[in-house]
Structure 1
């Protein structure tokens, strides 16, 4: 269903048992995926500037959630990114541009946190062999799943 045909309300924290399902951007209020719940159940409104601000604010909520649940990592941020792709499939041009801004705002906040985390954790990124990493990336591009997995 196109989200513009729904009544849009403000995002809010939800009373749910599972911490992830309590988050304001998780659910099925504004977007119903084929399976389960959407990890980017956010109205695609607010144009570019509003989208950027929305994305940044929700990224900080996501980072707080990821830190609070770090004992049981489940790929939360990857699932959010997957939901962005799902949302992009059915978006109008205007909704897509708002989603783009939401993603860019979200990732700008994540990037700042990642830089701080790399420094704080003492990662020696200078020691990373970028040629070996590029080789690994190219191997991934050439990989094909076994036929029985692709059915």
Structure 2
């Protein structure tokens, strides 16, 4: 039995229902994602998801959105313009930017975040375990040294080094 989605305390654009929907009319693949749009936002949002369902419902919602995102990455793997990392960053920024107005909305947002990050973490764990053999050959100190080197570098210094290398060729 399908549960009804509770009424939102936030006004929705005319004719819009609460919940996610398939959007086959989107010009670009990311616009067809059920969690991208303006159904629950005044502007284009990459986390256009109502803050309903409580924490536990939010966890399931977040997990479902993670699966939709991963399916998008897989379906668009041949598209050089899929910008999956950019999309992921925009999703996280827009989720973080949501402004809950009630404790229930705050719980829903926390659940959505936990479900989304938890599911992505499980997929990253599987990828690292199954595909990460090359990581075994990288000493941890090398990773630390690389990070520390980049923490002391400025963009201007990097550009100067690139220009120096280009003129040397």
Taking structure 1 as the reference length, what is the TM-score of the superposition? 0.76
Distance in 2 separating the partners of 1:50 and 1:66:
24
User: What secondary structure is seen at the aligned counterpart in 2 of 1:108?
Assistant: helix
Q: Please report the TM-score for the alignment, with normalisation by the length of structure 2.
A: 0.69
Aligned to 1:50: 57
Distance (whole Å) between structure 2 residues aligned to residue 112 and residue 101 of structure 1? 16
**Equivalence for 2:11:** 6
Secondary structure of the corresponding residue to residue 4 of structure 1: coil
Give the direction of change, closer, same or farther, for the CA distance of 1:65–1:127 in structure 2 (3 Å limit): same
Pair 143,99 (structure 1): closer, same or farther in 2 beyond 3 Å = farther
Q: What are the within-5 Å matches in structure 2 for residues 68-87 of structure 1? A: 68-71=75-78, 72=80, 73-74=82-83, 75=85, 76-87=87-98
Per the TM alignment, residue 115 of structure 1 is displaced from its structure 2 partner at its CA by 1.9
Residue aligning to 1:149: none
Indicate the residue corresponding to 1:125 in structure 2.
135
The aligned counterpart of 2:26 is 16
CA RMSD of aligned residues (A): 2.5
Q: Does 1:103 align with 2:113?
A: yes
Structure 1 unmatched runs, 5+: 147-151
Change (3 A) 1:91 1:131: farther
Count of matched residue pairs: 139
CA drift of 1:144 comes to: 7.0
Aligned equivalent of 1:40: 47
Counterpart CA distance in 2 for 1:85 and 1:109 is: 17
